[in-house]
């Protein structure tokens, strides 16, 4: 299900993510959203899905995404310039945190809706799914938001080093069944491990194709 990529596409991915990368800004309110310029992609997922680890692994940095996990930044949209500004990567706040208040969730959804509505440069949202858990209710709420905003999204299974091969095949199949029914979901699913580096070259190539 993970697409195959040509040597050129893999090389383009390598180049794009070769750096330099920089944290640009964190946005917690609608009025702070930066104006649109160039191609943007977004990363989203439940808290603890492995989003920071994946962003760091993709960019070959140890702490680029740490900016998103510092106190005060966890409820923000965090903007990163990738490959000398060739691409903007937007790290969305982790969702599905059990202790979040209704007010927090409402605020977060309003910010997200405003962001999704006003980003013509947003080519794709990558939604990370913990391979051990598969798609959960909070993920489906995220899919609803993206379907509603007509933003194309693609799923990325994380932490596959925790599963055995037959289990990976099973979760991929179950995930594809869910996205197959969704209007804005991209059919191919990426399978990754930040720990082992699995699938990173393919995901970089996929992202480079969007530029």
Footprint of ligand GDP (CB under 6 A)? 45, 47-53, 69, 94, 158-159, 161-162, 193-195
Cα separation, 136 vs 139, whole angstroms: 5
* Closer residue to ligand GDP, CB minimum distance, 11 or 201: 201
* Closer residue to ligand GDP, CB minimum distance, 86 or 105: 105
* Closer residue to ligand GDP, CB minimum distance, 7 or 137: 137
Shortest Å distance, C-beta 48 to ligand GDP: 4
Answer whether 55's CB lies under 8 Å from 92's CB.
no
Identify which of 165, 158, 167, 170 has the alpha carbon closest to the alpha carbon of residue 195.
158
* Closer residue to ligand GDP, CB minimum distance, 12 or 128: 128
Shortest Å distance, C-beta 193 to ligand GDP: 4
Specify the DSSP element, H or E, that contains 16.
Answer: helix 7-16
Shortest Å distance, C-beta 150 to ligand GDP: 25
- How are beta strands 77-82 and 87-91 bridged, if at all? antiparallel
Kindly report the backbone phi and psi dihedral angles of residue 81, in degrees, each rounded to the nearest multiple of 5, phi listed first. Answer: -90, 120
Shortest Å distance, C-beta 179 to ligand GDP: 20
Q: Which two tokens stand for residue 177?
A: 């069944």
H-assigned helices in 64-199: 66-69, 102-117, 137-149, 165-180
Shortest Å distance, C-beta 163 to ligand GDP: 10
* Closer residue to ligand GDP, CB minimum distance, 28 or 47: 47
């Amino acid at each position: 299900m993970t697409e195959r990529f040509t040597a050129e596409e893999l090389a383009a991915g390598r180049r794009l993510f070769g750096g330099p990368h920089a944290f640009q800004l964190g946005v917690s309110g609608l009025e702070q959203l930066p104006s649109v310029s160039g191609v943007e992609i977004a990363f989203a997922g439940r808290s603890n899905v492995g989003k920071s680890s994946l962003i760091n692994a993709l960019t070959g940095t140890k702490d680029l995404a740490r900016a998103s996990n510092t106190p005060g930044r966890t409820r923000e949209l965090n903007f990163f310039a990738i490959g000398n500004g060739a691409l903007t990567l937007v790290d969305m706040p982790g969702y599905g945190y059990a202790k979040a208040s209704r007010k927090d969730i409402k605020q977060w959804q309003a910010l997200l809706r405003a962001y999704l509505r006003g980003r013509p440069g947003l080519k794709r949202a990558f939604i990370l799914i913990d391979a051990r858990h598969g798609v959960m209710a909070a993920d489906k709420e995220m899919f609803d938001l993206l379907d509603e905003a007509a933003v194309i999204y693609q799923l990325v299974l994380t932490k596959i080093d925790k599963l055995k091969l037959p289990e990976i095949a099973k979760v991929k199949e179950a995930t594809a069944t869910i996205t197959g029914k969704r209007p804005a979901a991209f059919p191919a699913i990426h399978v990754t491990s930040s720990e082992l580096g699995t699938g990173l070259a393919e995901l970089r190539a996929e992202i480079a194709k969007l530029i």
